Structure 1
Amino acid sequence: MHPVSGSITLHSSLCTFSSDKPSSSSSSSSRSTNNLSVASKPKTLLQNHPLYTPINAKLSIQFKEKILCLEILGIDAGKALSQNLELHAATMESIHSIISFLLSKGIHQKDLPRIFGMCPKILTSNIKTDLNPVFDFLLQELNVPDHSFRRVVKKNPRLLTSSVMDQLKPALFYLKRLGFKDLEALAYQDSILLVSNVEGTLIPKLKYLESLGFSKDEARIMVLRCPSLFTFSIENNFQPKFEYFSVEMGGKLEELKEFPQYFAFSLEKRIKPRHLEVVQSGIQLPLSVMLKSTDEAFVELINQVGG
């Protein structure tokens, strides 16, 4: 596993934990192993913080320290505490153990604000039953080497809050059945598909494509060519874009079958203005050329063909 280099002090000596009970030798050894630098409570500094105003007098010392620790780490404490109610009762020692574990997996300290900001639930996860299985899944099922864990987790922190048995494995099994064979792409680019619900998200998108007139196999090939189709909203993406394509553009299903990436472009900022320019120029362009060209290339193309 990727070692934690050096002694880690979490941005400030304010971000510490303490216990009313004397530390056992095994506990001291554990903290030493995790390379966390534990300091005593800097009570003077804490009492000078705005949290120690009379308005917040009802907050316990431990709770105020927790808020300070989260803020020092770059995490919006209010958001984290509101989105993860279990965090209210979590001890500083348990939070430190989560941080130490992630660092041991190659995650960098500078990554923590984004990871915890997106998924505050991680702060109260169980290392043995929640987090370790996810890293085992990455290693064993997706062939992600331990030195690449950081890249995968940074791309999609939601992996760490997903159940391996109830979510990740079923999604991977379904995607493989559809024809997704590139495990590297699933790990590093399209991991959002692994945290998408099969019954509630993936299957309905395929069913919708079929409802447009595509066969099951055609719909399957479309998502294989453009996996992001699985991430688009039916109401906010597919429906308005297909309506414009079929009504205003008079497009044929064959064009979308060949270029499913159409749904990935902005209707208002890309599709409509490009289409209107093409119509005004009186020329015909393949859907892919019309949308994929850079602004400069598109203007030049319009001028060349139209002229």
Structure 2
Amino acid sequence: MRAAFHSSLCSSPHTPSPNFQEPDNLLTTKPKTLLQTHPLYSPAHTNLSLQFKEKILCLEIMGVDAGKALSLNPALQTATLDSIQTIITFLQSKGIYQKDLPRIFGMCPKILTSDIKSELSPVFRFLYYDLRVPEHNFRRVINKCPRLLACSVRDQLKPALFYLQRLGFRDLEALAYQDCVLLVSSVENTLIPKLNYIMSLGFSRSDAVGMVLRCPGLLTFSVENNFKPKFEYFDKEMQGKLEELKEFPQYFAFSLEKRIKPRHMEALERGVKIPLPLMLKTTDEEFWDLLRQRDG
């Protein structure tokens, strides 16, 4: 198991893997700078066990920031090399490539100490039976949203799916491959409050739901950093009507400073009125063509 661990976890195109057969060789043949620069290898931590040092080094070689992973998941301190290898082997059996692991573990280090039977396996069953994701597409979904693997199926994924389906989300394929971040969003703390905020702008519930179905990203945008400043600019500076946002909720997906303001101000200076979708969706070249055509 130990040899298998080092061949799979500690191999990298940047490391002389053929010489890394035993833990002692691994530690002595690596450049000292890697050990010395990592905070957990400072002189103050000289009593760290060899196994703990091996674990840190193997995570680093794999591409995972061990310090960050340990701070976000303290349970890693007591996890064994074999238990981590078991997690990796399981994920690979589900179609996850080794090159995917650094990003997955980097985003969700909790996965490194998850229980396969009670936590990880249920997620893949959820993908297969509830979202109708075929096994050969597991990798595509997990890479899109690694946080799925860190969520409870019973307490998070199924309640979110049920709520979204009640709203009118019927396209399971879109939920799986495009909008799976909605499934890891809290129904009570994220999805419902976002919908309520859209309604507070003056939209009826049916209009707000229609906007969300047209642009699911609305349920992920920050109220303070996105909705409020963009709506304020739309309402006061652009003097737009709610009907425009109802028809084009994607407005909130564009950058206020880089797209909305510059284009609106350019059209305003020329005295040109351009429908919201045309003003924001067009390329720069198409936008300037529109201005020239309407100027003429």
Question: Is TM more than 0.5 here?
Answer: yes
Deviations 1:193-252 (A, max 9, x none): 000000100001111111111000000000000000000001110000000000000000
Distance of 1:170 and 1:299 partners within structure 2: 46
Query: Which range moved further: 40-49 or 186-195?
Result: 40-49
The structure carrying a bigger helix percent of its residues is: 2
2:182 counterpart residue number: 193
TM-fit CA distance, 1:303: 1.2
1:58-77 to 2 correspondence within 5 Å? 58-77=47-66
Structure of greater relative contact order (alpha carbons < 8 Å, 6+ residues apart): 1
Residues 272 and 294 of structure 2 are in contact (CA less than 8 Å); yes or no, is this contact kept in structure 1? yes
Which one-letter code corresponds to 1:64 in the other structure? K
Match of 1:92 among 71, 81, 87: 81
**Residues 1:154 and 2:143 are matched in the alignment:** yes
Match of 1:10 in 2: 8
Choose the corresponding residue for 1:229, options 218, 229, 232.
218
2:206 to 198, 213, 217: 217
- TM-superposed CA distance for 1:145, in Å, is 0.4
Q: Does 1:123 align with 2:116?
A: no
Pick from 120, 123, 141: which aligns with 2:130?
141
2:282 equivalent to 1:282? no
Distance, in Å, in 1 between the alignment partners of 2:278 and 2:192 is: 30
Q: Does 1:47 align with 2:28?
A: yes
**1:82-106 deviation per Cα after TM superposition (whole angstroms, max 9, x unaligned):** 1110001000000000000000000
Q: Which amino acid aligns with 2:257?
A: E
Match of 1:83 in 2: 72
Unaligned runs of 5+ in 2: 13-19
Deviation for aligned residue 1:40: 5.5
Distance 1:175 1:13, change over 3 A: closer
| Residue pair 1:10, 1:73 contacting (<8 A) in 2 also | no
Choose which of 224, 245, 249 in structure 1 pairs with 2:238: 249
Query: Which residue is 2:15 aligned to?
Result: none
Asked if 2 retains the 8 angstrom alpha-carbon contact of 1:281 and 1:306, the reply is: yes
Given that 1:255 and 1:287 are in contact with CA atoms closer than 8 Å, whether structure 2 keeps it comes out as: yes
Moved over 6 A (4+): none
Residue 41 of structure 1 aligns with an amino acid whose one-letter code is E
Structure 1: runs of 5+ lacking an equivalent = 1-6, 15-38
Residue 296 (structure 1) aligned to one of 285, 290, 294: 285
Which position in structure 1 is the counterpart of 2:168? 179
Q: How many Å separate the matches in 2 of 1:73 and 1:119?
A: 15
The corresponding residue for 2:153 is 164
Q: CA deviation at 1:9?
A: 2.5
Conserved? CA contact 1:259–1:287, under 8 Å: yes
With the length of structure 2 as denominator, give the TM-score of the two structures. 0.90
Contact 2:160 2:182 in 1 (8 A): yes
Q: Say if 2:11 and 2:61, in contact at 8 Å, map to a contact too.
A: no
Residue of structure 1 aligned with 2:192, choices 192, 203, 226: 203
RMSD: 1.8
Aligned residues: 277
Between the aligned partners of 1:147 and 1:8, the Cα distance in structure 2 is 27
Structure 1 residues 276 and 13, CA, compared in 2 at 3 Å: closer, same or farther? closer
